[in-house]
Amino acid sequence: MKSNRQPQLANSPIVKEIPLACSNELAAVEFFERKRWGDTPRCVHCESKNVYKMVDEKTGERNKRFLWKCRDCGKQGTIRIGTVLEESRIPLRHWAYAFWRASTSKKGVAALEIKRQCQISYRSALFLMHRIRFAMAPSAESLPKLKGQVEADETYIGGKPRPQNYHRGPALRKKKAPVFCLVERNGSIRRFAVANVSAKTLRTALVKHVDRDATLITDENPAYLGAHSRFAGGHFTVHHASGEYVAYNGAHINTAESSFAILKRGIMGIYHAVSKKHLHRYVAEYDFRWNTRKLNDGDRTVAAIRSAEGKRLFYREPSAA
């Protein structure tokens, strides 16, 4: 299957670093340290640069836990502190591998694949992937409003209740998880696992995430009625029911629809099924890759690793790593 291809690292300066970081623990630790600190290691507690690597007294080599000590606050810490890796005992080389694969496989990577390649338990692999998805999700306060031409569309994971499916009734729709998509033409995407796609839910998201000067483009869903008065650039609709995919004025929502196609094929093909409870995490993973699509694979991997900083998740790691 295509998705199992080896990640492409051409033209990336980290081409030499990644494979080593995935196979050797010290190389992995130093890789994560370089990506977080550059040439200037800092105390993970007080940010002081007055830190040193702790060494094993007998061998003179780096401390087994790869600890640093701060001369200012006197505390010890590792590169994991203050990131989604904190309190995890899974070796960093496995984290490096999972970050790499999650950042470079278009449709994502299955926990089963991580289990096989890293020789860790399935539960550990699942845990690791969940945390990487959490890292990839943007912090709420870091999101500027979408501008210019903004496409809005909704789908149901498992199939969209298009007019031709309406006879199948609300029972079918109930089982499926709705996802709402806002995408700026040639810009970034923002998708949400939502409780429903009522006019109220969509309006709330539009007001929160789309700039007032934007032009909104949607399909003929009546939930968007009245949107023209909210956006200075107006509201254009495409009439899918009459077989129209690009309106006479060039309006279309093909970007949103193709983004949904990748999401669905990925979730069906790689993850097979995703519970409603976790859907938002998978959506964040796909959005991350979309929003970093102009980076090369190496830089995207580094962006994912950097996004792990300042984020912590407090659910317990399974015991057998």
Which of 15, 46, 67, 126 touches Zn ion by CB under 5 A?
46
Per DSSP, 122 falls in state H
Shortest CB 69 distance to Zn ion, Å? 9
Shortest CB 47 distance to Zn ion, Å? 7
When computed from its CA atoms, the radius of gyration of the chain, rounded to whole angstroms, is 22
- The rounded distance, in Å, linking the Cα atoms of 210 and 117 is 42
- Taking CB under 5 A as the binding criterion, the range among 36-44, 89-97, 132-140, 304-312 that sits at the site for Zn ion is 36-44
For position 43 contacting Zn ion by CB under 5 A, the verdict is yes
- Residue with smaller CB distance to Zn ion, 72 or 213: 72
The DSSP line for 181-219 is EEEETTS-EEEEE-S---HHHHHHHHHHHB-TT-EEEEE
Which of 20, 54, 73, 126 touches Zn ion by CB under 5 A?
73
- Taking CB under 5 A as the binding criterion, the range among 44-52, 112-120, 123-131, 225-233 that sits at the site for Zn ion is 44-52
- Taking CB under 5 A as the binding criterion, the range among 37-45, 197-205, 220-228, 252-260 that sits at the site for Zn ion is 37-45
For position 67 contacting Zn ion by CB under 5 A, the verdict is no
Which residues, other chains included, contact 277 with Cβ-Cβ below 8 Å and sequence gap of 6+? none
Nearest to 196 by CA among 216, 176, 217: 176
For position 81 contacting Zn ion by CB under 5 A, the verdict is no
Applying CB under 5 A, the site for Zn ion has a residue count of 7
- Taking CB under 5 A as the binding criterion, the range among 63-71, 85-93, 165-173, 252-260 that sits at the site for Zn ion is 63-71
Tokens encoding 171:
């029972």
Residues 188-217: x where in contact with Zn ion by CB under 5 A, - otherwise, as a string: ------------------------------
Query: Buried b / exposed e across 290-320, counting CB within 10 Å, b at 16+?
Result: bbbeeebbbbbbbbbbebbeebebeeebeee
- The rounded distance, in Å, linking the Cα atoms of 311 and 78 is 15
Place of tokens 């600190």: 37
Shortest CB 73 distance to Zn ion, Å? 3
For position 112 contacting Zn ion by CB under 5 A, the verdict is no
Nearest to 180 by CA among 157, 164, 161: 157
The residue ranges that bind Zn ion (CB under 5 A) are 43, 45-46, 48, 70, 72-73
